[in-house]
Amino acid sequence: MFKMLHSALAAAALLALTGGAQAADWKPEKPIKLIIPFGPGGATDIVSRILAAKVTETIGQPVVVENRAGGGGLIGLSAVREARPDGYTVLVTTIGFGANPALYRHKKIPYDPLKDFTLITRTAEIPTVLVVPPSLGINTLQEFIDRAKAKPGTLSLGSAGYGTVNHLAGELFKAETGIQTIHVPYRSGGLSTTAVVSGEISGLFATTPSALGHIKNKAMVPLAMGSAKKIDTLPDVEPTAKLIPGFDVPDWQGLIGPAALPKNIVDALNAQFGAALKDPEVVKRLSDLGAIPTPSTPEEFVAFVTSEVKKWNSVADRTGMKAEN
Amino acid sequence: MDLLGNLWIGLETALTPYNLLYCLVGVFFGTAVGVLPGLGPVATIAMLLPITFGLPPESALIMLAGIYYGAQYGGSTTAILVNLPGESSSVVTALDGYQMARQGNAGRALATAAIGSFIAGTLATIVIIFFAPPLASIALKFGPAEYFSLMVLGLIGSIVLARGSLLHALAMILLGLFLGLVGTDITSGSERYTFDLPKLADGIDFVIVAMGIFGVGEIIANLENESKRELITKRVTGLMPTREDWRRIRWPILRGTLLGSILGILPGGGAMLASFGAYSLEKKVSPNSAEFGKGAIEGVAAPEAANNAGAQTSFIPMLTLGIPSNPVMALMIGAMIIQGIQPGPSVMTDQPSLFWGLIVSMWVGNLMLLALNLPLIGLWVRMISIPYHFLFPMIVAFCSIGVFSLSNSTFDVYLMAIFGLLGYVFRKIDAEPAPLLLAFVLGPMMEEFLRRTLLLSRGDTTVFFTRPISAIMLGVAVILLIIVLLPSIRKKREEAFEEEAG
């Protein structure tokens, strides 16, 4: 009897001890599910798989990538929103995360990016570049704007669909310059790139990795970076921000979890993914893909998403963009 | 002579023991993925992509390419054996292949598919070697207007697919178009027929519809009269095509290869049309057209040749222009970028060992597939002689796992069950489901291209007739429609005359 009590006490003490250890420094005890709200093979998917492989090495448990595609990322997002906030279900989200509230505000807003989720860290971003077909005969950003103003509604900007980086950058461009262009959505980034090469559309805010080869082969003319900074692989291309101050639309990615994720879990995941993003091998892999690692604190990520939501709401005010027309 | 030098470079690259091994690994995985319903080459390649980081670029691409064309081989196996098209391109193979299997000719059907694929693969490799650069430019000549007209042609051609009543065929096409509408409209971003279910926002996956209507529907029908089915599979005849078979499949394979090679180059759905197109063509020109749908060997040979040729030539725009003709090619471009190679015309000049090595490896891979698949035929054929009450739960389990793996959703599995019931009903009322599937695929694409054409032409519909390629295809479509309708019109008129006379 005494022995039993003793062992029970010991067990309780052990429990308290491990519980205390957990509060200070969270260590996962089972595999972590990393949801990608898109199909396999896209830039977000590939970058996340590289990160997952690295974090698996350091965190002591496998980080398993699960693709939950559909509804422009909404299916994956709702899976995470409904998951338990225990750190075992997280998701990599992209630019649409902060833009959806603006895109869907005419009907039911699907979620609140700041209240329904816990933001853990930004992971990476892929710079964008405005490209046009050579047959268009336009070589500078100013010429593009002038042509659009001289002949309103004749120039078209492609995209990989509503709420993608190509669409959003185009909408911001319209809002800032006051020009009228036709939005031509395609099923994928690849098809919209092809449409520029064939001259089917007049322009595209493309992710740089998808455009670099075509620019080198003179199958596309780069007018300006869509993201704020110049990049090494396109040293002669100035950012759009030079003409339109503050213009910065990269294809960003970040790690999020369900609402009310405990602070120690957020910090542990932030530290693990942050370290992976600074690992020289990972940095090289990402830069080969044209992606730039952007580790951040949770607070910085919150501030960033807050500014994104504001930005896209303001664009929607000015251009009337929405996910349904 | 330059060509010989290039081929030599290619042989040198593809035939190193290291690359031969990766080619074998690729085609082996590809075959497995093709045989397993649901799991497709896109998902497989995406999952294996991180493994290729450490490999030299040639080996990485040789392996990934092997997965892709290996899957085209494997997809036909389940289509023939158990009426379960694992890939969209093997739907038409199921039409006559499964009938052959029911008649005890599964071995001959499988061998025909493998041999047809091999011949097509060989010829398509030659096409790539000689004509890659000029053919690539065709891909860029196809704008939305041309695609729309091509789809119209394809849809009208699909009426030929149907046996039996023309009215049934039309009804199935309409039903297919309707099902294809479910999901988010690309052009406007609006959701249609989704009943506010986020799971339907991206539409219904083709694999779900195909596996439900063909595979599960067939199982339900078989369970109705199980004893009959067992008798059928007991008498299995030869495993290899006979001399008579060879005579019959010669031209279908060549025609299928030609059609597949051309359609494979086109970005966006070309390869899918290839197998449907080849089947429709054979049904029209074959002296045995009455046998189609009842186990005609031509109906296996032509589409299999077409889809394999299309899979090969779809590499042309990717390798020469850096533009992807399908999601798999988009992944291959990703793989090249990771390896530090910018896809585009410069690949051929800057990376000759990669370019020619990959092309030669395709032929080597095809040879491996033949060597891998022919001996397996005996094994496969024995598999279907397993008593049906053991076999069908396995098929259902594999289908469910496959469909679940599409997007990790049980909803999709229920959806497949519903389509299974629908497939059973179609069988009962004797309605051929192949036109439904073609319309299901083509309908949304047709709409997309129509609206994109009008968006870019600012509402001007004359572009369909002023752009030459589009005009020619619409012309052919009209002629085809007349050919299809003529017999019934003539019959009606004769009836009318008889009534007048009477």
Chain B positions in Cβ-Cβ contact with residue A40 (cut-off 8 Å): 42-43, 46-47
If you count DSSP H runs as helices and E runs as strands, how many of each does chain A have, helices first? 11, 11
Q: Which amino acid is at A180?
A: Q
The answer to whether the Cβ–Cβ distance between A324 and B43 falls below 8 Å is no
The answer to whether the Cβ–Cβ distance between A213 and B327 falls below 8 Å is no
The answer to whether the Cβ–Cβ distance between B198 and A68 falls below 8 Å is no
pLDDT tens-digit readout, B13-67: 999 999 999 999 999 999 888 887 767 787 788 778 777 878 898 999 999 999 9
> What percent of chain A lies above the pLDDT cut of 90?
64
Mean of pLDDT values over B211-236: 73
Q: Which amino acid is at A292?
A: I
Chain A positions in Cβ-Cβ contact with residue B50 (cut-off 8 Å): 46, 49-50, 53
Residues ≥6 apart with Cβ < 8 Å to A3: none
Q: Kindly list the domain boundaries of chain A, sorted by start residue.
A: 31-125+250-319, 128-242
CB–CB of B136/B320 below 8 Å?
yes
Q: Please name the residue of chain B whose CA is at the shortest distance from the CA of residue A45.
A: B46
Nearest-CA distance A7 → chain B (Å): 44
Q: What is the DSSP letter of A31?
A: P
Specify the higher pLDDT residue, B333 or A294: A294
- Which candidate in B323, B354, B404 is best for mutational testing of the A interface (most A CBs within 10 A)? B323
Nearest-CA distance B268 → chain A (Å): 8
> What percent of chain A lies above the pLDDT cut of 70?
91
What was the pLDDT predicted at B153?
Answer: 83
Predicted confidence (pLDDT) at residue A9 exceeds the cutoff of 80? no
Chain A positions in Cβ-Cβ contact with residue B43 (cut-off 8 Å): 40, 67
- For chain B, how big is the Rg over CA atoms in Å? 23
Nearest CB neighbour to B50, from listed A39, A53, A325? A53
What was the pLDDT predicted at A231?
Answer: 92
Chain B positions in Cβ-Cβ contact with residue A39 (cut-off 8 Å): 42, 46
CB–CB of A117/A259 below 8 Å?
yes
Nearest-CA distance A294 → chain B (Å): 19
What was the pLDDT predicted at A282?
Answer: 93
Q: What's the pLDDT band for B349 if we cut at 50, 70, 90?
A: confident
Chain A positions in Cβ-Cβ contact with residue B452 (cut-off 8 Å): 184
Nearest CB neighbour to A213, from listed B49, B144, B322? B322
Minimum mean pLDDT range among B83-92, B289-298, B466-475 = B83-92
Number of A to B CB contacts under 8 A, please give it. Answer: 137
Minimum mean pLDDT range among A122-136, B10-24, B232-246 = B232-246
Query: Cα–Cα distance between A262 and A118 in angstroms, integer?
Result: 9
Q: Please name the residue of chain A whose CA is at the shortest distance from the CA of residue B331.
A: A41
A128-242 has the same fold as A31-125+250-319: yes
Q: Which residues of B15-54 are buried (b: 16+ CB within 10 A; e: fewer)?
A: eeeebbebbbbbbbbbbebbbbbbbbbbbbbbbbbbebee
Query: Cα–Cα distance between B373 and A6 in angstroms, integer?
Result: 66
The answer to whether the Cβ–Cβ distance between A74 and B452 falls below 8 Å is no
Q: Is residue A58 within 8 angstroms of chain B, CB to CB?
A: no
Q: Is residue A213 within 8 angstroms of chain B, CB to CB?
A: yes
Nearest CB neighbour to B456, from listed A184, A197, A214? A184
The answer to whether the Cβ–Cβ distance between A72 and B184 falls below 8 Å is yes
Chain A positions in Cβ-Cβ contact with residue B448 (cut-off 8 Å): 187
Helix extents (H) in chain A: 2-24, 43-59, 74-82, 96-103, 141-150, 165-177, 189-197, 208-216, 263-278, 280-288, 298-319
Nearest-CA distance A110 → chain B (Å): 11
Query: Cα–Cα distance between B110 and B376 in angstroms, integer?
Result: 10
**3-state secondary structure labels for all residues of B335-390:** HHHHCCCCCCCHHHHHCHHHHHHHHHHHHHHHHHHHHHHHHHHHHHHHHHCCCHHH
> Which tokens go with A251?
């294809």
Best-predicted range by mean pLDDT among A59-68, B43-52, B226-235, B361-370?
Answer: B361-370
CATH number 3.40.190.150 is the correct assignment for the domain at A31-125+250-319: yes
Nearest CB neighbour to B189, from listed A39, A41, A324? A324
What was the pLDDT predicted at A14?
Answer: 46
- From chain A residues 235-274, the ones with a CB under 8 A of any chain B CB are none
What was the pLDDT predicted at A22?
Answer: 44
Q: Is residue A134 within 8 angstroms of chain B, CB to CB?
A: no
Predicted confidence (pLDDT) at residue B234 exceeds the cutoff of 70? no
Nearest CB neighbour to B338, from listed A68, A78, A288? A288
The answer to whether the Cβ–Cβ distance between B143 and A209 falls below 8 Å is no
The answer to whether the Cβ–Cβ distance between A74 and B338 falls below 8 Å is no
Q: Is residue A188 within 8 angstroms of chain B, CB to CB?
A: yes
Minimum mean pLDDT range among A133-147, B35-49, B53-67, B274-288 = B35-49
Nearest-CA distance B158 → chain A (Å): 24
Q: What's the pLDDT band for A4 if we cut at 50, 70, 90?
A: very low
Residues ≥6 apart with Cβ < 8 Å to B38: B86, B207, B211, B398, B399, B401, B402, B403, B404, B405, B406
Best-predicted range by mean pLDDT among A58-72, A107-121, B75-89?
Answer: A107-121
What was the pLDDT predicted at A147?
Answer: 95
Q: Please name the residue of chain A whose CA is at the shortest distance from the CA of residue B323.
A: A194
CATH number 3.40.190.10 is the correct assignment for the domain at A128-242: yes
Chain B positions in Cβ-Cβ contact with residue A111 (cut-off 8 Å): none
- Which candidate in B51, B192, B272, B321 is best for mutational testing of the A interface (most A CBs within 10 A)? B321
Chain A positions in Cβ-Cβ contact with residue B329 (cut-off 8 Å): 190
Strand, coil or helix: A247 = coil
Mean of pLDDT values over B250-270: 84
The values of phi and psi at residue A34, to 5°, are: -105, 105
Q: Is residue A306 within 8 angstroms of chain B, CB to CB?
A: no
Residues making up chain A, counted from first to last = 325
Predicted confidence (pLDDT) at residue A45 exceeds the cutoff of 60? yes
Q: Is residue A180 within 8 angstroms of chain B, CB to CB?
A: no
Q: What's the pLDDT band for B345 if we cut at 50, 70, 90?
A: confident
Predicted confidence (pLDDT) at residue B238 exceeds the cutoff of 80? no
Chain A positions in Cβ-Cβ contact with residue B46 (cut-off 8 Å): 39-41, 45-46
**Beta-carbon count within 10 A of B464 CB:** 20
Chain B positions in Cβ-Cβ contact with residue A191 (cut-off 8 Å): 267-268, 324
Chain B positions in Cβ-Cβ contact with residue A156 (cut-off 8 Å): 455-456
Nearest-CA distance A118 → chain B (Å): 22
Predicted confidence (pLDDT) at residue B281 exceeds the cutoff of 70? yes
Query: Cα–Cα distance between A146 and B337 in angstroms, integer?
Result: 35
Nearest-CA distance A4 → chain B (Å): 46
pLDDT tens-digit readout, A188-204: 887 888 899 989 999 99
Mean of pLDDT values over B413-426: 94
The answer to whether the Cβ–Cβ distance between A288 and B337 falls below 8 Å is yes
Mean of pLDDT values over A230-245: 93
The answer to whether the Cβ–Cβ distance between A217 and B140 falls below 8 Å is no
Nearest CB neighbour to B334, from listed A46, A71, A188? A46
Mean of pLDDT values over B364-373: 91
Quick one: which of A47, A49, A89, A93 has its CA closest to A74? Answer: A93
Minimum mean pLDDT range among A23-27, A246-250, B59-63 = A23-27
The answer to whether the Cβ–Cβ distance between B340 and A193 falls below 8 Å is no
